[in-house]
Amino acid sequence: MSGLLDLTIVLPVRNEAENLGAALQSIGSDLAQAIVVVDSNSEDDTVKIAQEHGAHVINFQWNGQFPKKRNWFLREHKPKTKWVLFLDADEWLTEEFKTELRAALADTPHVGFWLNYSIYFLGQPLKGGYPLRKLALFRVGSGEYERIDEAQWSALDMEIHEHPVLDGSTGVIHAKIDHRDMRGPEHWARKHTEYASWEAKRYMALANDPAAKHQWSHPQKIKYRLMGTPLLAPIFFLGCLFAMGGWRDGKRGVMWARLKAGYFAQVYTRIQQERQKLAKAEN
């Protein structure tokens, strides 16, 4: 099957020179009607690489309020295509995914699709462990990413674990996108330290908000039920290693489960810090 899909692919980025070229190469020139890179004042060659691959570049300057990068793009630069797909710069489209994507969009009653990703760790894809799944492909105008009013409590200018809230049914594309970050474990650690702070503050802001809970997916409801307890990290470690098949990756599987469990332990610690701050403020 050939021909450009009625699709805009959007890559929100900042300082992604090491990853972006490979991601754009994996998309190719015969898949989507538009490829857009939304950049946040990168200080490396990100913009140059995007332009060399023929992508349209838009700069985003966050003001610390809603909307963040993806919702801002949907509102201020609404795609003219029927569908929009959001990719990170370390996500590579496989031929299997592109084939299934064409078939899925050819005739579907759904307004969005959950996408599956392979995770590369220490240079090889993991066979088991925590599955990466995101609702990142949907019809333009069917919804947007859930709203969080931050008032600048985070320095992260892009939606992290917010998911799109869509008006309609969703399907699944089973063929995987390759998730490959070329920047190494040091970057992973720095990034997840930022994420842990964001997760803790989000938990404190939304855990008791009935409207927010109504929009959460089933996995989010389970995670947030456990996040305020010390149980999340050990449960995640055991689940990642045994229930989700991480043992099939041997030492790499154990290391991956420990890394992810350590991340959730950090989230729990930060939640306790936020609770102490709140208690002091109330007194």
What's the pLDDT at 24? 98
Give the pLDDT confidence of 98-138 residue by residue, as tens digits: 999 999 999 999 999 999 999 998 889 999 988 899 999 99
Structure tokens at 258: 């420990």
Model confidence pTM above 0.85: yes
Q: Are strands 132-139 and 83-86 parallel, antiparallel or unpaired?
A: antiparallel
The residue range of the domain holding 205 is 186-282
Angle at 36 between CA 161 and CA 108, to 5 degrees: 70
Give the pLDDT confidence of 181-226 residue by residue, as tens digits: 777 778 788 888 888 888 888 888 777 677 766 767 777 778 888 8
Question: Is 31 in the same domain as 160?
Answer: yes
Among all chains, which residue has been given the structure tokens 């994996």? 26
Question: Is 232 in the same domain as 173?
Answer: no
Question: Is 19 in the same domain as 156?
Answer: yes
Cβ 255 vs Cβ 149: under 8 Å: no
- Higher local confidence (pLDDT), 175 or 191: 175
Q: Distance (Å, rounded) from C-alpha 280 to C-alpha 184?
A: 39
pLDDT of 54 above 70: yes
Question: Is 11 in the same domain as 125?
Answer: yes
CATH assignment at residue 82: 3.90.550.10
Please, how many CA atoms are within 13 Å of residue 165, restricted to the half-sphere of its CB? 13
What's the pLDDT at 123? 86
Question: Is 157 in the same domain as 20?
Answer: yes
Question: Is 108 in the same domain as 121?
Answer: yes
Q: Quick count: other Cβ atoms within 10 Å of Cβ 120?
A: 16
Cβ 173 vs Cβ 108: under 8 Å: no
Is the C-alpha dihedral spanning 161, 39, 50, 21 positive or negative?
negative
Is the C-alpha dihedral spanning 107, 81, 164, 39 positive or negative?
positive
What's the pLDDT at 283? 75
What's the pLDDT at 50? 98
Structure tokens at 162: 């917010």
pLDDT of 250 above 80: yes
Give the 3-state secondary structure of residue 58: strand
Domain final residue pick, 161, 182, 203: 182
pLDDT of 1 above 70: no
With pLDDT > 70 as the criterion, what percentage of the chain qualifies? 95
